[in-house]
Structure 1
Amino acid sequence: IEIYRLHVDCKVTSRFAHTVITSKIVNRANESREATFEVELPKTAFITNFSMSMDGEVYPGIIKEKAAAQNMYDTAVSQGQSAGLVKIRDRKLEQFHMSVSVAAASKVTFELTYEELLRRRLGKYELLIKVQPKQLVKHFQIDVHIFEPQGIQFLETDSTFMTNELTEALTKVQNETKAHILFKPTLDQQKKNSELDETLLNGDFVVRYDVKREATAGDIQIVNGYFVHYFAPQEMPVLPKNVIFVIDRSGSMTGRKIEQTRDALLKILQDLRPEDHFTFITFNNKVVEWKSSLLPATEENVASAEALVQTLTARGGTDISGALLAAVAVLENARELPERSVSMIILLTDGQPTSGERNVEVIQENVQKAINGKYALFCLGFGFDVSYKFLEKMALSNGGIARRIYENADAALQLQGFYQEVATPTLMQIEMQYPENSIEGLTKNNFKLFFEGSEITVSGKISNELDLLPVEIKAQSHTSNLTLKEEANVKEKEQVFQNQRYIFGNFIERLWAYLSIQQLLEEAISAQEEDQKALEAQALDLSLRYSFVTPLTSMVVTKPQQQEELANKPTEAG
């Protein structure tokens, strides 16, 4: 079985990435063989299309509601067909896997399309393409086209498998607003060495970039009556933060995990700013407060905290509830904190609650009541014994986010990386306001916090014939209350994307649908049951209308001989 052509074609238009992977395979044997198509794609992406072509026949993937797809699939499975097509691979990727029997001397073409909105983290967007052909490929090519009307500030490529020879196969052409990256290694360049037919191409191919920004109320782009508004103010004074680290030191954290936690905390302590306040609460079946109140991050206090971190050891049970309520109480009783500051609780745990209150619903309710919208709660789940659903619901109900920390060699770096993303809040209570009677389907437009290096994205549909789209942003900075105003000329904005071959049709409309689905699903996690059903119904409707494989839909692929396979979107919460 030989892959004779593999093409990754990626078009990024204003942060929205549309990737098509085409693999052409021939069976050179004189009997039928199994051909496999395996693609690793970012977890944040939604698959939108898949097809398989053999002997002049096309076998498409059809996206349906999960329940309906499951019924079709169960029928197929009862006739002895195989299992699902997509599974989580690691912290960034999931894998799509399809195999089909190919007759002697026959060919098959697989094509998979997925889309995602690139999120800005720590000042850059990252496009990740996983390269793993597992054999030498005669025609191998990656094309990345980027079009950013705001202008490209910087652009870099990075790869885990580059050699000097392979670097020669990489070309980069860019002007003010566009870039084209081409990676096209010959067979010789792909080889590990000239004797063996082993490939060097195994790993990540990454493109990172950022766009230029004017010091205004962000950037608005409009196509076919849909708009997207990006807001990422720069050079704002940093808001002081009051952080409580709530660290699990129960028995299950023993060994590697507690060591990695210590390493990460020592680095994080170094990153605190003098105007920040902080303290630690550690817990097993007992909850221990390092100090009874928050301390300013002076050199002396940081040094004394480092000494405490060095002594962290793990044993005993897990009283998550007691620890979180103790953290809230410390913030409630805090005196002399800076008037404009951001208070946050960062929980790190690797297990289920085993002592104190054990019912996760009761814990969620009590914590939400105690926090009462005043502080942000971030939950980091270490490994796979945590109830990620529980942590995610708790974080999203309290203005924070949840992350899984994977038990790898780089766990300490994952912890630090997460902290860096939330270490620099520059705005609070951000309201993005648009004319109410002329916008439909507006995505989330109120945000508790803005962190340096990230970006706020709002999208919607302009409902009536507007010539000007006025925007007003209200927010609190460290020093003042801000009001920023901007007017977008709808016709002028629509012109920007005319006759661009980089554009795949109605990309802002698809971006709007993608963002809406993600936000509806996120809202559903922390909603009451009736609301949850309504939010999921909306998300399902959009998933089907725009053909996205989301946690509510499945893609049914019918193979030759009427076999059926099912592609579902896995979620971190399982």
Structure 2
Amino acid sequence: KGINGQLVIEYDLKHEKDAGNVIVEGYYFVHYFTPSGLQTIDKNILFVIDDSGSMSGTKIQQVRESMLTILDNLNSNDYLNILKFSTSVQTWLSMPALASSENIAKAKTFVNDNLKASGGTNINDALLKAIQSLRSNSINDMRAQIIFFLTDGQPSTGITNTEQIRKNVIEENKGFAAIYCLGFGFNLNYNFLKNLTYENNGFSRRIYEGEDATEQLVDIYNEIKDPLLLDVKVNYGSKYVELSSTTNNKFYQYFNGTEIVVAGKLKKSGVLPADTVLVQGISKDGNLDLKMTSKSVTIRPVDENSSNKKLQDFQKIKELIEKYSIYNNTESEKAKQDAIKLAIENNFITKFTSFVLQVKPLSISRNKVMCTTGFGAAFTAIISLLSLWMI
């Protein structure tokens, strides 16, 4: 008898406590960094929750449910605080508190009793207050600083100009905390949230309304639950790597279960000595240098299916599009043109490039009806994009 259910198979490759693995194909390499054996770094985390009027009904109930689950999943040495905002801002405590069982119970009571949707959306004051609350904690050394920000709308109270809000947050934050934003639903300025988090070392995700919204919220928290490294830098010897060619090689935080990927171009085909690759960061035990062993560098023959260059260009295009979206100046226009150039070279579809469909009418034989469509013509799609990637 069959079982009506879902079978999920999860697996991972064996990793070492080193600088990862590099695959070299001709002049191009891709570096995968997923170390093991690192201890989780304690974190200070502040939950910033929008409970304005637009969050009423199912959304605010789902936020309450997800927060209760997330609070149970905090690490015992973490410090936390909760800030809710609508027209005004209210914090649970004046400064973050240890995630003890007693404090978790009090935090749950605050969530159940105080998350009630009403009023406007004062994003500016909420984020500034969140940063100030994190800074007020006397225990900040060797800790990850995280703001977990959830909203479903655009700023409607206080400062509402999104450019000004971004400037205010950057000035107040100064790289102190990473801001991770969850945009709930469709009626929000997602580009604003995406740019704000990019400028503050985090990422943004859209949460789709539905029965599984609570699960989506919890899953995204779990991505940042366990920081392993801070201030990560992936270094290569300038004798062997064209340093200007590499994709982003600096990362504010590295979390358990994630992977860092860096791609670049070599100065000599097929040559990248393992001892010229070094990953540096701050671990729970202090500064950490991770080196690469010779067995971690794989040299592959170059053929028509080689993908390293395409992956490098793909990553570059994504970074250029982000730069274009964030900065409104001549540099952003150059980023756009560079992205277009790379996209055309690789036949990638982006927000700036499209795919062309050529239509050819086929001749009709006297003896056979070759076309049965109402238009009296058959169409053949000539797609020259051998590697069709959507960016």
**What TM-score bracket applies, with the shorter chain setting the length?**
0.7 to 0.9
| Structure 1 residue aligned with 2:367 | none
Inter-partner Cα distance in structure 2 for 1:416 and 1:432: 30
* Corresponding residue SS for 2:187: coil
Inter-partner Cα distance in structure 1 for 2:11 and 2:25: 23
1:379–1:402 CA contact under 8 A, matched in 2: yes
| Structure 2 residue aligned with 1:430 | 232
* Corresponding residue SS for 2:90: strand
Aligned partner letter, 1:401: F
Aligned partner letter, 1:479: D
| CA apart distance, 1:552 | 1.6
* Corresponding residue SS for 2:298: helix
* Corresponding residue SS for 2:148: strand
2:255 to 427, 444, 451: 451
Q: Deviations over 1:248-268 (max 9, x none)?
A: 001110000000000100000
Does residue 1:475 correspond to 2:275, yes or no? no
Q: Deviations over 1:50-76 (max 9, x none)?
A: xxxxxxxxxxxxxxxxxxxxxxxxxxx
2:321–2:336 CA contact under 8 A, matched in 1: yes
Aligned partner letter, 2:155: P
1:468–1:489 CA contact under 8 A, matched in 2: no
Inter-partner Cα distance in structure 2 for 1:230 and 1:467: 14
Aligned partner letter, 2:309: E
Using a 3 Å threshold, how does the CA distance of structure 1 residues 489 and 535 change in structure 2: closer, same or farther? farther
Write out aligned runs for 1:3-42 (5 A): none
| Structure 1 residue aligned with 2:331 | 531
Using a 3 Å threshold, how does the CA distance of structure 1 residues 216 and 489 change in structure 2: closer, same or farther? closer
Does residue 1:463 correspond to 2:267, yes or no? yes
| Structure 2 residue aligned with 1:334 | 137
Q: Count how many residue pairs are aligned between Structure 1 and Structure 2.
A: 366
| CA apart distance, 1:569 | 9.4
* Corresponding residue SS for 1:474: strand
Aligned partner letter, 1:267: T
Two-structure CA RMSD over aligned residues (Å):
2.8
| Structure 2 residue aligned with 1:494 | 299
Does residue 1:365 correspond to 2:167, yes or no? yes
TM-score (structure 2 length as normaliser):
0.87
Q: Deviations over 1:24-67 (max 9, x none)?
A: xxxxxxxxxxxxxxxxxxxxxxxxxxxxxxxxxxxxxxxxxxxx
Inter-partner Cα distance in structure 2 for 1:553 and 1:208: 36
* Corresponding residue SS for 1:484: strand
Q: Deviations over 1:114-139 (max 9, x none)?
A: xxxxxxxxxxxxxxxxxxxxxxxxxx
| Structure 2 residue aligned with 1:374 | 176
Q: Deviations over 1:183-232 (max 9, x none)?
A: xxxxxxxxxxxxxxxxxxxxx99875422223321011111221111111
Inter-partner Cα distance in structure 2 for 1:205 and 1:524: 41
1:545 to 338, 345, 349: 345
Q: Deviations over 1:94-148 (max 9, x none)?
A: xxxxxxxxxxxxxxxxxxxxxxxxxxxxxxxxxxxxxxxxxxxxxxxxxxxxxxx
| CA apart distance, 1:346 | 1.2
Inter-partner Cα distance in structure 2 for 1:333 and 1:229: 38
Inter-partner Cα distance in structure 2 for 1:165 and 1:329: 53
Inter-partner Cα distance in structure 1 for 2:57 and 2:299: 58
Using a 3 Å threshold, how does the CA distance of structure 1 residues 544 and 206 change in structure 2: closer, same or farther? farther
Does residue 1:313 correspond to 2:119, yes or no? no
Inter-partner Cα distance in structure 2 for 1:479 and 1:367: 30
Write out aligned runs for 1:557-572 (5 A): 557-560=357-360
2:151–2:183 CA contact under 8 A, matched in 1: yes
* Corresponding residue SS for 2:12: strand
Does residue 1:556 correspond to 2:356, yes or no? yes
| Structure 2 residue aligned with 1:511 | 311
Q: Deviations over 1:224-248 (max 9, x none)?
A: 2211111111131111111111100
Does residue 1:277 correspond to 2:96, yes or no? no
Inter-partner Cα distance in structure 1 for 2:160 and 2:324: 23
Identity of aligned residues (%): 34
Does residue 1:287 correspond to 2:92, yes or no? no
| CA apart distance, 1:538 | 1.7
* Corresponding residue SS for 2:357: strand
1:377–1:400 CA contact under 8 A, matched in 2: yes
Using a 3 Å threshold, how does the CA distance of structure 1 residues 331 and 214 change in structure 2: closer, same or farther? closer
Inter-partner Cα distance in structure 2 for 1:438 and 1:468: 8
| CA apart distance, 1:528 | 4.5
Using a 3 Å threshold, how does the CA distance of structure 1 residues 467 and 404 change in structure 2: closer, same or farther? closer
TM-score (structure 1 length as normaliser):
0.60
Using a 3 Å threshold, how does the CA distance of structure 1 residues 166 and 559 change in structure 2: closer, same or farther? farther
* Corresponding residue SS for 2:38: coil
* Corresponding residue SS for 2:66: helix
| CA apart distance, 1:511 | 1.5
Inter-partner Cα distance in structure 2 for 1:488 and 1:471: 10
Inter-partner Cα distance in structure 1 for 2:298 and 2:42: 38
1:224–1:506 CA contact under 8 A, matched in 2: no
| CA apart distance, 1:524 | 2.9
1:468–1:487 CA contact under 8 A, matched in 2: no
Using a 3 Å threshold, how does the CA distance of structure 1 residues 508 and 333 change in structure 2: closer, same or farther? same
Using a 3 Å threshold, how does the CA distance of structure 1 residues 436 and 205 change in structure 2: closer, same or farther? farther
1:551–1:569 CA contact under 8 A, matched in 2: no
Using a 3 Å threshold, how does the CA distance of structure 1 residues 244 and 564 change in structure 2: closer, same or farther? farther
1:322–1:356 CA contact under 8 A, matched in 2: yes
Q: Which has the higher helix share?
A: 2
